[in-house]
Amino acid sequence: MKRVYNLSEYCVGCGLCEVHCATIHSEYPDNIWKAYRLADKRPMSRLFVERNATSSLSVQCRQCDEPACVYACITGAITKKSETGLVSIDEDKCVGCSTCLIACPYGLIKIDPYQKVSLKCDMCKDIAQTPVCVTRCPNEALVCREEEI
Amino acid sequence: MAVSWRMPEYKINRDKDRCIDCQVCVNQCANDVHTWDEDLNRVVSDESLCVNCHRCIVYCPTRALNIEKWPTAFKDNANWDSGAIKQLYAQAESGGILLTGMGNDRPYPVYWDNLLLNASQVTNPSIDPLREPIEIKTFLGRKPARFDPSSDEFPPQMELDIPVLFSAMSFGSVSLNVHKSLARAASELNVFWNTGEGGLHRDLFEYAANTVVQVASGRFGVDAEMLARAAAVEIKIGQGAKPGIGGHLPGEKVGNEVSRTRMIPPGTDAISPAPHHDIYSIEDLRQLIFSLKEATEYSKPVMVKVAAVHNIAAIASGIARAGADVIAIDGFRGGSGATPLRIRDNVGIPIEFALAAVDTRLREEKIRNQVSLVAAGSIRNSADVVKAIALGADAVYIGTAALLALGCHLCQKCYTGKCNWGIATQNPRLVSRLNPEIGSRHLVNLLRAWEHEIKEMLGGMGINALESLRGNRLMLRGIGLNEKELQIMGIKAAGE
Amino acid sequence: MREGQIRIPSGCAISGIINRRGHGFSGSAIINSIALMHERSNGMGGGFAAYGIYPGYAEYYALHIFFESESVKAEMEKNLYASFQIHLAEEIPTRKSRKFKDAPIIWRYFATPLPAALERYDGDEEEFMARFVLRVNSTLRGAYIFSSGKNMGAFKAVGYPEDVGEFYRLDEYKGYLWTAHGRFPTNTPGWWGGAHPFALLDWSVVHNGEISSYDANRRYLEMFDYVCSLQTDTEVITYLFDLLLRKHGLSLRDAILVVAPPLWSRLEELEKNERERIQNLRIVYAGALLNGPFSIILATGNGLLALNDRLKLRSLVAAEDNEYLYVASEEAAIRVVANPQKLWFPAGGEAVLGLLYGKESLYTGGRCFDGGKLENAGI
Amino acid sequence: MKYLIIGNSAAAIGAVEGIRSQDTDGEIIIVAGENFHTYSRPLISYLMAGKIDRNKMYYRPRDFYRRHQVQFYAGEKAVRIIPREKSVHIAPSNLNLDYDRLLITAGGTPVRPSALEGNYDNLLYFHSWDDMTELSARLKSDHPSRIVVVGGGLIGLKAAESLKLRRQQVTVIEAGSYLLNSVMDAEGAEIIADYLTARGIEIMVNNPVVRVEGDTVINHLFLQNGRRIDCDLVILAAGVKPNLNCLEGAGLDSENGILVNQSMQSSLSDIYAAGDIAQVYDESEQEYRLMPILPEAYRQGRTAGLNMAGGNFLHQGQVFNSIPLLGLNIASAGTNSVTDTDLEIIQRRDGQYNYRRLTLQNQVLKGFIMIGDLNRCGILRSLIQQQTDVSAIKNRLLENDFGLLDIQKLGKHDQGREGPFCQ
C-alpha cells in the first residue's frame, strides 16, 4: 500500500508539515490564517516532528500491516481497511481512552485535548490526492509511495 | 563593558495579525533571531542577530514577516556614508580585519550593461531556433595551429553542450550537498563542475567525466585517485574576490568528511598560502603544469585560473606559453566564501576589460586559437554569456549564479558557517536544507533556460554555430563608454 | 566613403560557366546569364572573372590595376619595376560609354617576379605575390591591384554587370571558365575596387550573402597575417580558402568541411574515426566556419567550386550539359544560355565542383593534394 | 472445519477475525451468555456517565456476524464440555453442539469478599451491561444519597467516576494499601487519590470492609479501623475471577484459569482458551499469567483463531492500561512491582498531576507508569516488548521530546518504515 516515508537526511525540521496538516484538517481547510485565528480551538496536526542537535524527522502513522492500535482499541473505532490498507479512527466512536496511544509502537497517535478523541494520520483521505505534508514539504523530504517491506 | 555603537543592520517587521505562532521561523533561523517566549506565549525576534537571509520570510506560511534596513539614518555625508562609519565602529571594537562573503558589491560600473548585441534585419535572415538547429557545443583544450591529416594524435578536449562551467567552490567552504547538486547537474547537462581546493569527496567519483579537480596552494586532497577521478585539472593561482590572498578554512568547519577529503586532521584550520610555494615565477608554473600532465599521461587538459589584475594580458600570454590548455580569468566581481572586505572591494579589474585585453593580446601573439579562455567573475545571465563569448571567451564560469539557483540569498555571511540555506555550512542540521535532488534540478533548469536564450540571441544575429560568435566583436556595440573603454574592448559605439 | 572604410551588406546575383575540356568560349554567354538577373543588382557593382584568356602570356602574372591618377600610376610602376620583370604593360581595352564617366585609369601588366625579390620568401613565388598584392592594396592609396593570377583576369566596375561586360569588351575574349557578379549594395561604394569578383593570385570569388561570422573570420585570419582591407565577405572567403588550401594544404573536401561543417548531430551517424576526424577539423578551424547566408563561386585555373551555407539561406542552382557545368543564383540564368540534361539544387553545405578533366584539385599551386571525394563532401 | 466459540467478547471477536483471515468458509458458531450483540465491557462506565449512547456500546458493527458468517446462539450458557465427543452442551436450549476446534472465552465473574456474603438488595455489580442498566435504574428510583464503591481498582474507579459524573456522592473503599495497586506505585496512586478527592470522590485505602449491617439492604459498612460508613447503595468491584464452572469433568488443566501455551492451546489439543479466563504461559517470566484486560483478550483470541485455523502463531502477552479519570490520563505498561531488588527506577514529576516512572532491569525497560501527559508513550511500551537494551538513551526516556530520533540511536528504527517495532 501507499505510505508516507521520511528522507530524514533532507528534513529541515521547519514544521510546515504540521501547519498544513493541522490546517487541512481544520474548519478552514484552505486557509491557514483562518484555521489558526478564527477557529475556536487551535488546529491539531496528525503527525509528529522531532528535532535534535543533528537531525530532524517528520513522522506520521505507518499504516501497519499488523496494527497494534486496531487490536488494542476498546471501542472498535480503529479499523484497517482491507481495500486501501488505511488504518483510520472513527472519531465519532472513539471515547478518548488513550489505549491506542500506548499500543502504537511508534507513538504516533495523539489525543485531541478539545474533543478528547484520538488523532492519527488519515493520509488526507477524501481531502487531498496526496497527503498535504508530502505536497507541502519545502525540501521534498517526505514522499508518498508504494513500498513493499 | 563599554556599550557597542553598532546598531542592528535590519529591522524585522512581524505582522502580529498574520503571525500564527507556528514557530517555523524559530526552527529555521540559525542565528537565533526568532525565539519562542514562554512568558509572552508568542514568537519574538531579536533583530541585532539578523543577516537578512530571507529564510524565515520564504518559509513563513502566512507571510507575516518582512525585513527592512534599520531605519535610523546618519547625518547625510557623501564622504562618510553609513557603511564606512559602521565598518569603522566594527574595527574600533574588534581590532580585526573585516571579513565578508560573496563578490564585490561596490557600485563600480558593470560593463556587461554597457554592451549591446546585434540582430539581423533584411540584409540577412535571423534564424529561428525553433525551426533551425543552432549549435552551442564547445570544446575546451589545446588546439593545434593547423590540422595535420597524417596524424591521429589530438590533444585532450573538454566537451561542453552549453558554454558554461560551475566555478570552483571547495567542500568545506560549501556543503557536500552543494557538490552533489553541482556534480549531478553537470553530468545531466554535459558541462563541468569544479571541486575547488577541498578535494573530491568519494561519493562524487561517479561524476568523473564532468569533474574538474583543483590543485591550489594548499594542495588539499590532491592525490593520484583524485587526479584519476577527473576530466581536467585546474591549477588555481588566484581568485577574483581576493587576488594575492590565500584561503583559510576555520577548524570548526573541518568535520570528519571534510578532513577525510582534504586529507588533514579533523578540527585543524586549513590554510592555503597566498602563493604556491613551488611557484615563484612563470617557469615554475610550467613545471607544475607538466608534472600534472605527466601524472595524468597527457590525457586531461590542464587549466590555470588567475585573478584579473592590471597586467593580465601579459600574464595570460605567459600562462599559454607555459603550456596551459585552458586559461580561466576571474574578474574582480568573483565570489568567495570568505575574503577580507578591503581586498574584495579594491583589488583587481573587471572581467570585461581583462577578457578583451587577453583575447586581443593572444591574437597579437597568434596563439589565441591554440588555448581556450574561460571568463569568470559575475556572469549573471545568458546575455552576459553571449557578450563574454563575443568579446573572445570560449566559455564562462558561474559561481554566484549557481549558488543563487541553489537558494543563496546573497546575505554575504558565508564565512560565519551559519548559512541558513544549507550552502556555506557544515552543520548537519543546516546541510540537510539543501536537497541535491532539488538543487540539481534548479541548476539544470537554469542552464536549460540560458541555453534557449543563448540560441535566441544567436539566431537573431544570424549565427547558428557558437564558434562564429567567438571574438566576433562586430556583434557588440558600446553604450555610455568613452573612447578608451571602447578601444580596450575593441568594439564600436552604438550607432557607429 | 569607399569599400574598406565601412562594411556594406549586399544582395547579389552570381553565375558561373566552365567548359571542363578547357575549350574557350566567348564572354557573351556569361554576360547573357548575369544580365537575366538584372533585378538582383542595382547598378552599384558588377564584374567578371575569366580564365584562359591570356594563352599567349600564360606563364606570367597578369596584374590588373586601377589608378586614381597618373601620379599614383607612376609611383606604382616604380614599385613594379623594382620587383618584377615586365613583359607587357598596356591599358585594358574598353568601349567608351556614358555609363562609365568616372572610370579610373585601368592597366594590366604581365610580369615575373625578380629572383632578388623572392629571396625573402625563400623562392615561394605565390607567397611573395600574395604579400605584394596585399601590401600595395593596404598601403598605396589610389592604386588597387584587382587581379593577379596567371592566364586569368578579373574585370569589374560600378554599374550593372551586363554594362560592365560591354565596357570591358568581354564578348571579344575567349575563356574556358567564366564567373560573374551583379551587386545590390545597401550603400554606395562609389569605388571600382569594391566591386566583385574579388581575386588574389588565380583565386577568384563571387559571392552572394552576408557572413554573420565576418569578424570572427577576420580576426582569425589576422593571426595568419592576412589584412582584410575591404571589409567584404568575398575578401575573407578568398583568404580562408587561400589559408586552408594553399597554406595549410587541406584537401578541398576538408576545406569544405571547415567552412560549412556538418551539424554535430549529423556526425553521430558516422563511424568513430571519421567522426573524430571531422570533429577535430572543426575544433581546429572553429574560426574559419562561415556562418550566415551565402552562396559562392570560387574559381581557379583548374575549375570552379560552388557552395551554399549549411542552412541554404541563399539560392544556388547547378546544371550539367556534357562538358559544360553551370552554377547560378537562378535557374533561368542557366536556361537562358543552355538547355542542360541535368539541373539540380545543391543542399546546404553540399559543394558543386567543376574541375577541368584530368585536374585533381582546385588549387593550382606546386603542391598536390588529394582531390577529395566530392560526392559526400557536404555530407 | 467447524469452530465453536464460547463467549462473545473481545477474545471471541479476535478469534473470529483471526479464523476468517485464514479460513473463509469454515463454520463458526458463537455461544453468547448475554443477549447482546458483541459489546465492549469497559464502555459501560462511559454509558453510565452519559458520555455515549447505547449505539456506541458495540465492539463491532451490526453486520459483523453476517459478514463473518457466524452462527450466533444468544442467551445460551455452555454447561458442559465433552472433549471425548467433541461437543458442548448448552442451556437453556439443551442442545449438543459439536466442534472440530473449541475456543473458550467465557470470561470472568466478579469476586465477592467474604464480608459481603449474603443477598442484599442494594448490593450491585459493575461488570456487565445488565449490571449497569440496573444501577442506572436504581439511581432514578432510589435517589441514593450516598454510594459506596468497594474496590479501588480499574473497574471500581471507572464506576466511581461515572457515578460522580451523574452527580452522586461516592466513596471508594480499597482494601489494599493504595489505589490501582495492580498497576500503580504508591506515589502514582497518591497523585490519583489527591486528584479524585479534589474532585469530590471520597477515597479510603488500606481499609478492608470487615462486616456489614442490615438484613435485606446494607445500611452500614464497617471497616477494619472500626469506622462505620452509611450507604444507600453498594457497588462491588473487588476484581474478577475466571468463569470455570463449565469445565466440570472436561479434564482441562487449570489453576486460577485455563492453562494455555503460547499458541493459546489448552492441555487438550483441539481446545483453546483466551481472554479473562485464560492463564497464558509467559516465557520471559516463565509462569502462567492471567491478563484480564481487553487488548490482551483480543490479541489472545486472534492468536487462538489463527492457530485453530491451522496457523502457527505464538502469543506474546503484555499488560498495559489506560484509564482517563475525570480528565486525568493514567497509563501503565509492563511490570512495575518493586519486589525484585535489582530493579532500577527512574522517575520524574512536574506539576501536581504529571508523573512518569520507569522500571528497568539490567538496562532493559520493564514497565512504565504515566500520569498526565501520555505523549509518545507507545514507544516506551514497544521498548518493553522488544526487551531492548536502552542504556544508550536512558537519560532521554523521561524527556518530553523523547521520540523516534532517540530510537534511531539504538539502531532499532529505520526512517519510519514499518520495521522491528511492529508485532
DSSP for B22-78 reads: --HHHHH-TT--EEEETTTTEEEE-GGG-----HHHHH-TT--EEEEE----PPP-S
* Long-range CB pairs of D151-154, under 8 A, 24+ apart, other chains included: D151/D175, D151/D236, D151/D237, D151/D238, D151/D239, D152/D176, D152/D178, D152/D179, D152/D180, D152/D181, D152/D203, D152/D205, D153/D179, D153/D180, D153/D181, D153/D182, D153/D237, D153/D238, D153/D239, D154/D180, D154/D182, D154/D183, D154/D321, D154/D323
| pLDDT reading at D417 higher than 50 | no
CB contact under 8 A, B429 and A9: no
Question: Edge-to-edge, what's the strand order for the sheet holding D220-223?
Answer: D209-213, D220-223, D228-230
In a domain, B2, yes or no: no
In a domain, C58, yes or no: no
Average pLDDT over residues D12-31: 96
B182 and B47 in one domain?
no
CB contact under 8 A, C313 and B472: no
CB distance C325 to C312 below 8 Å: no
| pLDDT reading at C318 higher than 80 | yes
Q: How far is B185 from chain C (nearest CA, A)?
A: 22
In a domain, A149, yes or no: no
The range of the structural domain enclosing residue B237 comes to 112-493
In a domain, B266, yes or no: yes
A69 and A36 in one domain?
no
Provide the terminal-to-terminal Cα distance of chain C, rounded to the nearest Å. Answer: 42
User: Mapping DSSP to helix (H, G, I), strand (E, B) and coil, where does residue D143 land?
Assistant: coil
A138 and A97 in one domain?
no
Query: Any contact of D with B, at least 3 CB pairs below 8 A?
Result: no
CA D409 – CA B467 distance, rounded (Å): 58
Find the length of chain D: 423
User: Residue C214: which CATH number?
Assistant: 3.60.20.10
| pLDDT reading at C373 higher than 80 | no
* Cα A38 → chain centroid: 22
| pLDDT reading at C41 higher than 90 | no
A109 and A83 in one domain?
yes
Q: Among candidates C193, C202, C187, which has minimal Cα distance to C104?
A: C193
Average pLDDT over residues C68-85: 94
Which chain A residues are closer than 8 Å to D40 by Cβ?
74-76
Percentage of chain B with pLDDT > 70? 100
Residue D338 has what pLDDT?
64
B186 and B37 in one domain?
no
Q: How far is A37 from chain D (nearest CA, A)?
A: 25
In the complex, which subunits touch C with 3 or more CB pairs below 8 angstroms? B
User: Residue B20: which CATH number?
Assistant: 3.30.70.20
CB distance D239 to D174 below 8 Å: no
| pLDDT reading at B209 higher than 60 | yes
In the complex, which subunits touch B with 3 or more CB pairs below 8 angstroms? A, C
| pLDDT reading at C188 higher than 50 | yes
Average pLDDT over residues B206-235: 97
CA B162 – CA B471 distance, rounded (Å): 17
- Which residues, 6 or more positions from B130, have their beta carbon under 8 angstroms from its beta carbon? none
Find the length of chain B: 496
In a domain, C373, yes or no: no
How many domains are there within chain B?
2
In a domain, C109, yes or no: no
CA C332 – CA C338 distance, rounded (Å): 10
Looking at B55, B70, B96, the residue that finishes a domain is B96
Residue C189 has what pLDDT?
62
Give, in order, the Cα–Cα distances in Å from B26 to each of B44, B140, C184, D308, D321: 9, 48, 72, 56, 37
The range of the structural domain enclosing residue A77 comes to 63-120
Q: Residue C197: is the preceding peptide bond cis (ω within 30°)? A: yes
The residue with greater pLDDT, B251 or B396, is: B396
Question: Between B20, B23, B59, which is nearest A138 by CB?
Answer: B59
Residue D250 has what pLDDT?
84
Phi, psi of B70 (to 5 degrees): -60, 120
CA D380 – CA B382 distance, rounded (Å): 58
CA B108 – CA B111 distance, rounded (Å): 9
Q: Is residue C228 annotated as a catalytic residue, yes or no?
A: no
The residue to which cell 460522580 is assigned: D164
Question: Between A6, A64, A97, which is nearest D418 by CB?
Answer: A64
- Kindly state whether A135 is in contact with chain B, defined as any CB-CB distance less than 8 angstroms: no
In a domain, C124, yes or no: no
In a domain, A148, yes or no: no
B202 and B59 in one domain?
no
Q: Catalytic one among C3, C8, C10, C12?
A: C12
Average pLDDT over residues C110-121: 91
Residue D418 has what pLDDT?
40
State the DSSP code for C131: H
- Residues C143-170 pLDDT 10s: 999 999 999 999 999 999 999 999 999 9
Phi, psi of D157 (to 5 degrees): -70, -35
Residue C372 has what pLDDT?
34
What cell numbers appear for B422 in the block? 544549507
Which chain A residues are closer than 8 Å to B53 by Cβ?
none
A56 and A7 in one domain?
yes
- In B322-463, which ranges are continuous DSSP H helix? 341-346, 351-364, 382-391, 400-405, 428-431, 436-460
* Cα C200 → chain centroid: 7
In a domain, C329, yes or no: yes
Bridge partners for B327 per DSSP = B304, B373
Average pLDDT over residues B116-120: 96
Residue B226 has what pLDDT?
96
Ranges C184-188, C315-319, D254-258: which has the least confidence: C184-188
CB distance B300 to B61 below 8 Å: no
CB contact under 8 A, D415 and A6: yes
B117 and B82 in one domain?
no
| pLDDT reading at C220 higher than 60 | yes
B-to-C residue pairs, Cβ atoms closer than 8 angstroms: 107
B89 and B118 in one domain?
no
Residue C366 has what pLDDT?
42
B132 and B270 in one domain?
yes
CA geometry: angle at C9 spanning C4 and C11, to 5°?
Answer: 130
Question: Between A8, A102, A116, which is nearest D331 by CB?
Answer: A102
Mutate to test the interface with A, among B435, B437, B441 (most CBs of A within 10 A): B435
In a domain, C117, yes or no: no
* Long-range CB pairs of B146-154, under 8 A, 24+ apart, other chains included: B146/C247, B146/C248, B146/C284, B147/C248, B147/C250, B147/C254, B147/C280, B147/C281, B147/C284, B147/C285, B149/C250, B149/C251, B149/C254, B152/C273, B154/C276, B154/C280
User: Residue A74: which CATH number?
Assistant: 3.30.70.20
A13 and A53 in one domain?
yes
Of the pLDDT bands very low, low, confident and very high (cuts 50, 70, 90), residue C107 is very high
Ranges C188-202, D44-58, D376-390: which has the least confidence: C188-202
Which chain A residues are closer than 8 Å to B432 by Cβ?
9-12, 55-56, 139, 141
CB contact under 8 A, C291 and B464: yes
CA C145 – CA C156 distance, rounded (Å): 12
CB distance B18 to B63 below 8 Å: yes
Looking at B48, B70, B96, the residue that finishes a domain is B96
CA B297 – CA D419 distance, rounded (Å): 51
Residue C98 has what pLDDT?
85
- Residues D341-363 pLDDT 10s: 788 999 999 889 999 999 999 99
B129 and B80 in one domain?
no
How many domains are there within chain C?
1
The range of the structural domain enclosing residue C333 comes to 2-53+151-355
| pLDDT reading at D413 higher than 60 | no
In a domain, C76, yes or no: no
State the DSSP code for B128: -
What cell numbers appear for A5 in the block? 516515508
Q: What is the pTM of this model?
A: 0.91
> What does pLDDT average to over chain B?
96
A90 and A104 in one domain?
yes
Q: Among candidates A120, A144, A119, which has minimal Cα distance to A131?
A: A144
Looking at B96, B121, B155, the residue that finishes a domain is B96
Q: Which residue of B has its CA nearest to C247?
A: B146
A126 and A116 in one domain?
no
- List chain A residues with pLDDT less than 50: 149
How many domains are there within chain A?
2
In a domain, B3, yes or no: no
- Residues C241-275 pLDDT 10s: 989 988 898 988 899 999 999 999 989 889 999 99
Ranges B131-140, C131-140, C164-173: which has the least confidence: C131-140
- Residues B439-496 pLDDT 10s: 999 999 999 999 999 999 999 999 999 999 999 999 999 999 999 999 999 999 999 9
With 0-12 CB in 10 A as exposed, 13-18 as middle and 19+ as buried, what is D62?
exposed
| pLDDT reading at C367 higher than 60 | no
CA D267 – CA D282 distance, rounded (Å): 16
B77 and B150 in one domain?
no
CB contact under 8 A, C291 and B120: no
CB contact under 8 A, A149 and D298: no
CA B181 – CA B132 distance, rounded (Å): 32
CA B242 – CA B346 distance, rounded (Å): 9
Ranges C190-199, D212-221, D399-408: which has the least confidence: C190-199
User: Residue B263: which CATH number?
Assistant: 3.20.20.70
B481 and B371 in one domain?
yes
Q: How far is A92 from chain B (nearest CA, A)?
A: 28
- Cβ-based neighbour number of residue C70 at 10 Å: 9
Q: How far is C251 from chain B (nearest CA, A)?
A: 9
